Structure 1
Amino acid sequence: MNTEITKNQENKIKVHFTDNTLINPTNPVTVNLIGAGGTGSQVLIALARMNHALTELNHAGLSVRLWDDDVITEANLGRQFFAECELGLSKSVALINRANRFFGTNWKAETQKFEKNDLGKFKSNMKSEIYISCVDSVKSRFDIAEILNELKIDKGYYRNQCKYWIDFGNSQFTGQVLLSTIGNIKQPNSEKYEPVENLPFITEEFGELLKNSEVEDNTPSCSLAEALEKQDLFINSTLAQMGSSLLWNLFRNGLTENRGFFLNLKSFQSQPIKL
């Protein structure tokens, strides 16, 4: 009898069921989008499209806050969603203003890094239900993980309880997107599936790989040609579309068998990351 139960469990597909407060929210689901560069600028547009689709489906939609302390330069034109008339403007302000005008949203821009204040305290606007990081350094990922680990402990019973972290990362031709839970997400009982309540952070699961990765060149590019030596023209937009589809499926289907993917744009290969 025990052998049969074990076999049945082994045959079940592992899935993660979306937290119910995201499926049927009373208020718009809060999102902190960290980084407004090559990937972040594309993800913001995807979130705006997603918000419109959700509201058309009688969902409360999304409320996004975009974090970036950088300004628009010549090297950003073409590869990122910026125009020549926006040179010198804050990336986050330019993008949020454009999204709000086009989609009629009331999203917010932060012209600063996503980090604790000088006293080591959290800003009230740092708390959200979903965190999406589109950063270009290993240190930034570990800093975000540290903040989310502390927020995880301080969950309480307030609105905007942190639930998920989606991290986007890439090199010139390759990249990955990984979905993590911030703490455990209570799962329903299922006869068909094996629910998974905890999806580890990228810094926990691939921490050593991140630390041992090649030294990153964060020197600002002076031209688009120089920028393309670091990141291919379409790697960011491809990652943004596929990664945003992962989030969309959490809302639309209420569950996922995959927690992300690895992408190689040079060989046109994509490998899902199963639970």
Structure 2
Amino acid sequence: MNTEITKYQEVKTKVHFTDNALINPTNPITVNLIGAGGTGSQVLTALARMNHALSELNHAGLSVRLWDDDVISEANLGRQLFAESELGLSKSVALINRANRFFGTNWKAETQRFEKYDLVQLQSNMKSEIYISCVDSVKSRFYIAEILNELKMDKSYYRNQCKYWMDFGNSQFTGQVLLSTIGNIKQPNSKKYETVESLPFITEEFGELLKISETEDDTPSCSLAEALEKQDLFINSVLAQMGSSLLWSLFRNGLIENRGFFLNLKNFQSQPIKL
């Protein structure tokens, strides 16, 4: 009899409950957005819209710092969110200035790579609750993972404790978004769900696949036509919107059942990544 009961026992849905510090914050949630190219430029706009919506819902909103050491070139126009009048300007400065003017925010731009320097900087500029990476190379992802592993070991400051890392990656027609926790996020007791407190880094779960798929050409494109041979016109914006929707679910719903997705824009297929 006990065997029969176990056999037909309802299987609980796996969920991850958002860290409460993001749901009811005293201060704006700090976000480090790494990369201001095709995807990063789109994600920044999505974050600005999200910040406005959260503020209207009596939430403290977001405080974003954008990292990129690149300048705007002819090849960036059209596929990335830059205008001809911005040629030669720093990508991060141009985007942050535009967002601040349009949305009335006071977000910050860093005209350098997201790199390790000293402990003081790691605890100030580089420490935030959410990290979003929109970088081109697999090497950069592993380097970011190394920094985040170092940051999560530092418990000297209660505020801005590292919580989540969302990584965006793509090739010409395909891409993926994956949400990870930086350490364990304490979960409430639940009779309805099976709660998951730890979501592994993309470098931990798909590290070998990332290394195998490392085929990108780091040579800068000289024209939009050449850039489109590497990344299709709309792959970045579709990834940005879908990934931002996942982040929005963390705030709006307080829980998630999926921690990312794989996307194939050529055949219009999307596959969720379950917890």
Normalising by the smaller structure, the TM-score range is over 0.9
Give matches, 1:50-199, under 5 Å.
50-117=50-117, 122=122, 124-199=124-199
TM, length-normalised to structure 1? 0.96
- Partners of 1:77 and 1:69 lie apart in 2 by 17
How far off is 1:214 after superposition? 3.8
CA shift at 1:213, angstroms? 1.1
Any conservation in 1 of the 2:31–2:132 contact (CA below 8 Å)?
yes
Aligned to 2:34: 34
Counterpart-to-counterpart distance in 1, 2:148 and 2:159: 16
What is the root-mean-square deviation of aligned Cα atoms in Å? Answer: 1.7
What is the DSSP-based 3-state SS (H/G/I as helix, E as strand, rest coil) of the residue aligned with 2:122?
A: coil
Instruction: Return the alpha-carbon distance in structure 2 between the equivalents of residues 158 and 233 of structure 1.
Output: 42
- Ranges in structure 1 where 5+ consecutive residues have no aligned partner: none
The unaligned stretches of length 5 or more in structure 2 are none
Give the structure 2 partner of residue 17 of structure 1: 17
CA offset digits 1:151-201 (Å, max 9, x no partner)? 111134420000000000000000000000000000000000000000000
Q: Which moved more, 1:85-94 or 1:154-163?
A: 154-163
- Structure 1 stretch 42-51 or stretch 152-161: which is displaced more? 152-161
For residues 73-99 of structure 1, what are the alpha-carbon distances to aligned partners after superposition, in whole Å with 9 as ceiling and x for unaligned?
000000001000100000000000000
SS of the residue 1:233 aligns to = coil
Residue-by-residue CA offset, 1:82-123 (whole Å, 9 max, x unaligned):
000100000000000000000000000000000012799736
> 239-248 or 145-154, which moves further after superposition?
145-154
SS at match of 1:177: strand
Work out the CA distance in 2 between the residues paired with 1:230 and 1:171: 7
Amino acid at match of 1:171: S
Q: For 1:33, what is the secondary structure of its paired residue?
A: strand
Q: Percent identity?
A: 88
Match of 2:226 in 1: 226
Q: Is this contact kept in 2: 1:68–1:110, CA < 8 A?
A: yes
Q: 1:118 to 1:252 in 2, by over 3 A?
A: closer
The letter of the residue matching 1:26 is T
Q: Quote the Cα distance in structure 2 between the aligned partners of 1:222 and 1:14.
A: 47
Cα distance in structure 2, aligned partners of 1:49 and 1:104: 11
Indicate conservation of the 8 Å contact 1:155/1:162, yes or no.
no
**TM-score of the aligned structures, taking structure 2 as reference length:** 0.96
Does the alignment pair 1:239 with 2:228? no
1: CA distance, partners of 2:160 / 2:8:
39
How far did 1:5 drift? 6.5
